[in-house]
Homo-oligomer: A and B are copies of this chain.
Amino acid sequence: MDSVLIIGAGAAGSVTAQKCAMNRDVFKKVHLASRRLESCEKVAARCVSPIEISQVDADNVDETVALIERVKPDLVINMALPYQDLPIMDACLKTGVHYMDTANYEPRDVAKFEYSWQWAYHDRYAERGILGVLGCGFDPGVSNIFCAYAQEHLFDTIETIDIIDCNDGSHGKSFATNFNPEINLREVTQRGKYWKNGEWIDIDPLSISTMIDYPEVGPRKSYLIYHEEEESLVRNIKGLKQIRFWMTFSENYIKHLDVLQSVGMTRIDPVMYKGTPVIPMEFLKELLPPPSSLGENYTGRTSIGCVIDGTKDGKRKTVLIYNVCDHAESYKETGAQAVSYTTGVPPVVGAIQMFQGAWTGNGVLNVEQLPSKPFLDELAKQGLPWHVKEITPDDQAELFAVKS
């Protein structure tokens, strides 16, 4: 295995392609395809070694099949929109090529984040003898693998997991989202939920918040939201009693979100405008700065990790596993800020696991079902160093105090 096809040339896809081009010992052939060939050309110009490019409409299974048959990759890394997960999975199934993505499928017309659609491919992928790796970005992705690593190496039993996600960066714009605005706002404006004692507990959007002390950043107000990796971790981390996901949002972000929601600009149903149906959320995307424009002058860092509480050798143990990534350094290396960087590097690390034989198997798997140690070793080499720190619950007193 030595040939990879990356579909999607947005900010994260650009990082993935550039990182593959930096690892020619593993990736003999790197092919990047996107709806707009111009986007691919820009990425190719940034790559340290030559890559091939193509135009493709990833909504169209036949087009993607034709591309795969022409390029003959061993693996397709899907860095397109979540809407396109299923058509790309279909194309891989038809051509018998391995599949990997960084975000779960969602339908365009309903903000519904769940793995059911993709897990349904498991048997067909297994029969075809191919592997589909789901959610191999940062979170989902590295966050899941931190949990798997904790389960395998640090704990006898894990009781609670809090995934904590802080972007302590500043892009200097009055309002912008760090990745596709449509996907970002759909995620944040949905109802929140978390899992406790075997059931999902629903909450109003952004109705639970607390201060979390982020490594290398400090205390930041964080909101409980639902995030897709919780669904698979609940299945794959044995004996888990509670999992929650927390994300920082600035007051300014919350203010914008409040207003955009209250006036209906985050709606995903069409509104008639002079005889043309316009989807407010999609129109808003046209108004906001594209995430790829945020890299320049972006300062600060992301600090993302897992606070895991459980037992080891009969004693209570609490661990923080995390990565801190600097916006300006990411930009200097790849022309993309840290949110895109932390999303774009992990699938390259995942692909290296597959190409080097550490990740094998058939069917559709989430990343925590695959070996964690070799992935994390490689992750640090590829620009995302990670740290394990034993803490006491008092170190995150406010987090542990949040009543459900």
A255 touches B264 (CB 8 A): no
The chain B residue sitting closest to A174, CB to CB, is B262
Q: How far is the CA of A88 from the CA of B260 in the complex (A)?
A: 37
Q: Which of A355-393 contact B (CB under 8 A)?
A: none
| Chain B residues with CB below 8 A from A258, complex form | 255, 259
The chain B residue sitting closest to A267, CB to CB, is B287
The chain B residue sitting closest to A285, CB to CB, is B273
A283 touches B273 (CB 8 A): yes
Q: Is A22 an interface residue (CB 8 A)?
A: no
Stretch of A136-144, A217-225, A274-282 on the interface side: A274-282
Q: How far is the CA of A263 from the CA of B263 in the complex (A)?
A: 13
A265 touches B265 (CB 8 A): yes
Q: Is A110 an interface residue (CB 8 A)?
A: no
What distance in Å separates the Cβ of A294 from its nearest Cβ neighbour in chain B?
Answer: 15
Q: How many residues of A contact B (CB 8 A)?
A: 25
Q: Is A284 an interface residue (CB 8 A)?
A: yes
What distance in Å separates the Cβ of A59 from its nearest Cβ neighbour in chain B?
Answer: 14
Q: Is A175 an interface residue (CB 8 A)?
A: yes
A283 touches B286 (CB 8 A): no
What distance in Å separates the Cβ of A377 from its nearest Cβ neighbour in chain B?
Answer: 43
B263 touches A287 (CB 8 A): yes
| Chain B residues with CB below 8 A from A280, complex form | 283, 287
Copies in the complex: 2
Q: Is A272 an interface residue (CB 8 A)?
A: yes
Please pick, from B174, B271, B274, B286, the residue contacting A287 in the complex, using a CB distance under 8 A: B271
Please pick, from B267, B276, B284, the residue contacting A263 in the complex, using a CB distance under 8 A: B284
1/0 per residue A82-100: CB within 8 Å of B?
A: 0000000000000000000
Q: Is A256 an interface residue (CB 8 A)?
A: yes
Q: Which of A166-206 contact B (CB under 8 A)?
A: 174-175
B256 touches A263 (CB 8 A): yes
What distance in Å separates the Cβ of A279 from its nearest Cβ neighbour in chain B?
Answer: 9
Q: Is A288 an interface residue (CB 8 A)?
A: yes
Q: How far is the CA of A362 from the CA of B259 in the complex (A)?
A: 49
| Chain B residues with CB below 8 A from A276, complex form | 276, 278
Q: How far is the CA of A364 from the CA of B263 in the complex (A)?
A: 40
Q: How far is the CA of A254 from the CA of B260 in the complex (A)?
A: 14
B278 touches A273 (CB 8 A): yes
A286 touches B271 (CB 8 A): yes
**Given A283-B278, A283-B283, A287-B280, also A262-B256 (CB < 8 A):** yes
B260 touches A263 (CB 8 A): yes
- 14 additional A-B pairs beyond A256-B263, A271-B286, beta carbons within 8 Å, are A255-B255, A255-B259, A256-B262, A259-B259, A260-B263, A263-B265, A263-B284, A264-B287, A264-B288, A267-B287, A271-B283, A276-B276, A276-B278, A278-B283
Nearest 7 Cβ contacts at the A-B interface: A259-B259, A174-B262, A264-B287, A276-B276, A256-B259, A273-B283, A175-B262
Interface, chain A (partner B; CB < 8 A): 174-175, 255-256, 258-260, 262-265, 267, 271-274, 276, 278, 280, 282-284, 286-288
